[in-house]
């Protein structure tokens, strides 16, 4: 169950004083009836007393609670809908961990990824783009826009030193990239992940589940070789482990393949022109898709409004029941 406006549930607290008011009204009505009609008449009306006094109070409480839940906008379950699509939103998710400085892809894994992003943007200037980067954490560098200049400027800032959090948390990156294109629109949504797949932070199952729950289409580009490569700093020196051994970074496409399989996405091995051509072909086909079948959360406000109306009708009907002579 998903509640869009949780703060609205605080209105249920108002039912507490309403209960005491209804109890006070019930007791006052009983006292007045005894005073006007006597106890013998009250004995003959015992069943009707429950129907005409207690039942309407209960229905009133249910009606008020239902209206609160309707106002809170409750979603439960899912339903399949057909939606018209127009245009494409591409959310780039780029790995900026230190391992992306390896040069087993020319000139480096990170620079190759930047060139690939620029090539896609230049080929499809009419699409919407956002850019997120991840390391031990993730940030949204460029919100969804058609301003290519903003995207190009942000690309110039990309460097492992852009983020201080060590590691490689692709699960967090997927969460940030998914949210960058989460607001409602009639455009097809694609997330392009460029990474060497080395998972340091964030469990593999968490990353797969976040991708699956996002409802977006994924293109996953594995950058780097499984044979591995050394990593050089900006000064040209090799990065070593704490024990002094030279670090050998090996690409791990397993995680990216798992995400592609779980989301019916596209997995590609980066470093070749074929990767760019397949992405172009995929986006062209995706852009021409004018209708899609999606599963969306089912709104339940109509159910609660219906319950409230039935309770209101019940209260009116009970008011028409005559007292016994």
The reply to whether 248 and 121 lie within a common domain is: yes
Q: Is residue 55 part of a domain?
A: yes
Q: Look at residue 93 and tell me whether its pLDDT is greater than 90.
A: yes
The reply to whether 235 and 119 lie within a common domain is: yes
Q: Which of 229-233, 264-268, 269-273 has the highest mean pLDDT?
A: 264-268
pLDDT at 113: 94
Count of domains forming the chain:
2
Query: For residue 230, what are the domain limits?
Result: 86-289
Q: Is residue 324 part of a domain?
A: no
Mean model confidence pLDDT for the chain: 84
Mean local confidence (pLDDT), 37-55 = 73
Write phi, then psi, for 171 (nearest 5 degrees): -60, -45
Q: Which residues contact 201 (CB under 8 A, 6 or more apart)?
A: 136, 167, 168, 169, 172
Task: Kindly indicate the confidence band of residue 6, based on its pLDDT and cuts at 50, 70 and 90.
Answer: confident
Mean local confidence (pLDDT), 52-64 = 88
For residues 138 and 103, what is the distance between their CA atoms, to the nearest angstrom? 23
42's tokens: 């009250």
Q: Is residue 311 part of a domain?
A: yes
Query: 211-264 pLDDT, tens per residue?
Result: 888 888 999 999 998 888 888 876 777 877 667 778 888 888 888 999 999 888
The reply to whether 110 and 229 lie within a common domain is: yes
Give CA separation, 36 vs 53, 220, 293, in Å: 17, 82, 67
Q: Is residue 266 part of a domain?
A: yes
Task: Kindly indicate the confidence band of residue 8, based on its pLDDT and cuts at 50, 70 and 90.
Answer: confident
The reply to whether 158 and 110 lie within a common domain is: yes
Query: 119-171 pLDDT, tens per residue?
Result: 999 999 989 999 999 998 899 999 999 898 889 889 988 988 888 887 788 88
97 by Cβ neighbours in 10 Å (0-12 / 13-18 / 19+) ranks as buried
The reply to whether 213 and 307 lie within a common domain is: no
123's tokens: 């080929």
pLDDT at 209: 85
CB 281 within 8 A of CB 287: no
Provide DSSP, 172-183: HHHHHHHHTT-S
pLDDT at 290: 59
- Here the CATH number for the domain that contains residue 215 is 3.40.50.410
pTM, two decimal places = 0.63
Matching residue, tokens 């903003």:
150
The reply to whether 183 and 302 lie within a common domain is: no
Q: Is residue 325 part of a domain?
A: no
Q: Is residue 103 part of a domain?
A: yes
The reply to whether 207 and 271 lie within a common domain is: yes
The reply to whether 237 and 281 lie within a common domain is: yes
pLDDT at 180: 78
The reply to whether 33 and 171 lie within a common domain is: no
Q: What percent of the chain has pLDDT over 90?
A: 33
Q: Is residue 134 part of a domain?
A: yes
The reply to whether 67 and 202 lie within a common domain is: no
The reply to whether 73 and 127 lie within a common domain is: no
Q: Look at residue 182 and tell me whether its pLDDT is greater than 70.
A: no
Q: Is residue 139 part of a domain?
A: yes
The reply to whether 164 and 270 lie within a common domain is: yes
- In eight-state DSSP terms, residue 114 is H
CB 320 within 8 A of CB 51: no
């Amino acid at each position: 169950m998903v509640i869009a406006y949780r703060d609205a549930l605080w209105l249920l607290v108002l039912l507490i004083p309403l209960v005491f008011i209804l109890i006070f009204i019930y007791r006052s009505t009983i006292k007045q009836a005894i005073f006007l009609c006597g106890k013998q008449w009250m004995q003959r009306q015992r069943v009707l007393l429950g129907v005409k006094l207690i039942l309407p109070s209960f229905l009133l409480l249910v009606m008020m609670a239902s209206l609160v839940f309707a106002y809170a906008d409750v979603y439960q379950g899912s339903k399949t809908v057909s939606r018209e699509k127009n245009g494409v939103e591409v959310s780039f998710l780029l790995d900026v961990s230190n391992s992306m400085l390896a040069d087993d892809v020319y000139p480096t894994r990170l620079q190759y990824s930047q060139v690939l992003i620029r090539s896609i943007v230049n080929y499809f200037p009419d699409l919407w783009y956002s850019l997120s980067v991840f390391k031990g954490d993730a940030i949204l560098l460029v919100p969804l826009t058609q301003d290519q200049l903003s995207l190009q400027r942000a690309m110039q800032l990309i460097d492992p030193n852009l983020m201080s959090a060590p590691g490689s948390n692709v699960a967090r990156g997927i969460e940030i990239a998914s949210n960058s294109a989460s607001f409602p629109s009639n455009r097809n949504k694609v997330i392009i992940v460029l990474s060497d797949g080395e998972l340091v932070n964030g469990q593999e199952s968490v990353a797969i589940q976040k991708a699956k729950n996002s409802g977006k289409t994924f293109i996953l580009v594995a950058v780097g070789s499984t044979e591995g490569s050394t990593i050089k700093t900006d000064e040209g020196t090799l990065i070593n482990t704490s024990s002094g051994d030279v670090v050998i970074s090996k690409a791990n496409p397993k995680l990216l393949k798992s995400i592609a399989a779980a989301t019916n996405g596209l997995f590609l091995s980066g470093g070749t022109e074929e990767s760019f051509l397949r992405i172009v072909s995929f986006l062209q086909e995706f852009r021409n898709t004018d209708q899609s079948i999606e599963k969306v959360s089912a709104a339940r406000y109509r159910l609660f409004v219906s319950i409230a109306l039935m309770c209101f009708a019940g209260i009116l009907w009970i008011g028409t029941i005559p007292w016994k002579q």
